Amino acid sequence: MTKLAVVGATGLVGTKILETIDRKNIPFDELVLFSSRRSAGQKVDFQGQTYTVQELTEQATEDHFDVLMSAGGGTSAQFAPLFESNGATVIDNSSQWRMTEDVDLIVPEVNAPTFKRGIIANPNCSTIQSVVPLKPLQEEFGLKRVAYTTYQAVSGSGMKGKQDLENGAKGLSPEAYPHPIYNNVLPHIDVFLEDGYTKEEQKMIDETRKILTEPELNVTATCVRVPVQDSHSVHINVTLDQPTTVKEIQDVLEKDPRVILVDDPENNVYPLAIHSTGRDEVFVGRIRKDDSLDNTFHLWVTSDNLLKGAALNAVQILEQVLKLKGEL
């Protein structure tokens, strides 16, 4: 009997999780929707039924669920271990558990749960779309160095980020960001650390190494918020172990089912955020050689941050879990 719980069901990602469960026909016998006290009592229509959103309490964790949690690190820190102690599998979308040693950090195109614990972490949205094309390159050529520059949509900040962009066009002051995002670019996502990197940048560095199981891989990142509603874009500068060419990289990615190659710059064909939005896939293009470093190449990657970068990846992990349990 499959019992599902969605925590944070009324938020941007929670809503996308429900849409994805429906679209992918994930089977379940019972569904419970949880939220904070503020959103409890809301009605949600789903698959022909009306669900009343419940407040997440300690008592609510005593039932046995497969839990998709998208409610922030503090909520996850408090409630995920309680669900886990009652036999649940928790797929958590916050950053709370990602670098915990015995918690799996999963991108289904790249790795699979080992069930060291009942908590499974969903990676950072930009990390997810980046490691998907890096994995086939790692398998074919090996990786020596990765440098990221991200161009992240405001929906990555939830409803407040989207509101800042909309309100900025009206001349209103920002609430989610320290500066206006409308008609602007912010080289600042999450808090600054002592070394000058932001927490978002450090997440990408640490998570890439963990997901690809290369703890010594040279990785660096600059994460930037741009005035785009949905879909993140990432520039990847990658140095490979084995000599290769642009054509060979294109061939590897074109044949790989994990990505879609969109790379015909002569005809202005390359991945765009507006084409990624609402799509499940990760798109890769603008592949070219970096002549300033040996065996180094540029890639441009776009993906819907609310789908593959969050809700879809979580539901794909749920599919892995259900298959391993023999329930799918």
Tokens of 309: 């970068």
So which residues are the catalytic ones?
A: 125, 232
Closest by Cα among 237, 226, 216 to 298: 237
For 108, other C-beta atoms within 10 Å of its C-beta total 19
Strands (E), 49-201: 49-52, 54-55, 66-69, 89-92, 104-105, 119-121, 143-152
Q: What share of the chain is helix, strand, coil (3-state, %, to 5)?
A: 35, 25, 40
Residue 239 is given by DSSP the state E
Name 4's bridge partners: 31, 66
- Give this prediction's pTM: 0.96
Name 219's bridge partners: 146
Residue-wise pLDDT for 137-181, tens only, equals 999 999 999 999 999 999 999 999 999 999 999 999 999 999 999
Tokens of 62: 């005593």
Measured CA to CA, the distance from residue 90 to residue 139 in angstroms comes to 30
Closest by Cα among 252, 255, 288 to 270: 288
DSSP per-residue string spanning 73-110:
HHHHHHHHHHHHHTT-EEEE-SSSSTT-TTSEE--TTT
Tokens of 315: 């539901």
Helix, strand or coil, per DSSP, at residue 45: strand
Residue-wise pLDDT for 101-125, tens only, equals 999 999 999 999 999 999 999 999 9
Low-confidence ranges of the chain (pLDDT < 70): 1
Query: Percent of the chain beyond pLDDT 90?
Result: 95
Q: What is the dihedral of CA 236, 287, 123, 279, to 10 degrees?
A: 140
Name 67's bridge partners: 5, 90
